[in-house]
Amino acid sequence: MHPFSKRQRRILPGFGLSMGYTVFYLSAIVLVPLSTIVISTIGIEPERFLAAVSSPRVLASYRLSLSSAFFAAIFDAGAGFLTAWTLTRYRFPGRRFLDAFVDLPFALPTAVAGICFATLYSPATLPGQVLSRFGIELANTPAGIVVALIFIGFPFVVRTVQPVIAELETEIEEAAQSLGASRWQTFRKILFPHLFPALLTGVTLAFARSIGEYGSVIFIAGNLPFKTEIAPLMIMSKLDQFDYDGASAVAFVLLLISFIMLLVLNGVQRWQQKAYR
């Protein structure tokens, strides 16, 4: 037998070289840029840090960003799940077009999306006037911010849940129904436990992405103090005022919130996997 026949052939380099490239690029692209925020924040005096992150205007921006991101993520959970299910389980004309259309928020510059929303829901346009008749105001309101964040976070839920739905065999549902289970029982006890980790991942990613969203929000928000100012806008405002310490402090808080969300997500996923083994 040829001595090389026992070796496992690898198309990509071995573990050592691949791991080296992985660590290098993750460090250069993710760890090093984020560490600069941590390092710059550590050098700030505690009193100055607390004053920067706890001023009434900044606290109002935190509440608005977190609440808007939460409601947008909840909406994306339902709409994204139904969209992923429809695109995966059904065949209909234009399905591929709709499937490609889901990725548009990824490719479209967020500033373009913000201008589109601000123009569409302006009181001077027909859609804005129609909504005003029903008492719905989206321009320069928190509701408009939620609409913009729904647009941004929607693809995260769809693309996270869609592969899991595709892997579920329809025979499982047929077997459950043949044993007398209703559609709701089949979904709640068989399908949902398998889909929940992916759905939770997509919702968390949408929530974390929405917290730091800037371009698609500032145009429709109107940036009214204590009303429609988001936390990323506070960072930009402090940078415009050459308050680099204050901007680093606010950015550190947002980074910490996103990091905690990812840690909670990983913990829930591990618990979910152990519970259904």
The answer to whether residues 220 and 138 touch, using CB atoms and an 8 Å cutoff, is yes
What pLDDT does residue 13 have? 64
Enter the tokens of residue 166. Answer: 């595709």
The 10 Å Cβ neighbour count of residue 265 is 18
Distance CA 258, CA 206 (A): 11
What pLDDT does residue 72 have? 94
Q: Which fold has domain 68-275?
A: MetI-like fold (1.10.3720)
What pLDDT does residue 6 have? 47
What pLDDT does residue 40 have? 82
What pLDDT does residue 9 have? 60
Mean pLDDT per 10-residue section of the chain, whose length is 277 residues: 51 73 83 82 86 89 92 93 90 88 86 86 83 82 90 92 85 76 78 84 88 85 85 87 87 87 78 63
What pLDDT does residue 70 have? 92
Distance CA 21, CA 75 (A): 39
The domain ranges of the chain are 68-275
What pLDDT does residue 180 have? 75
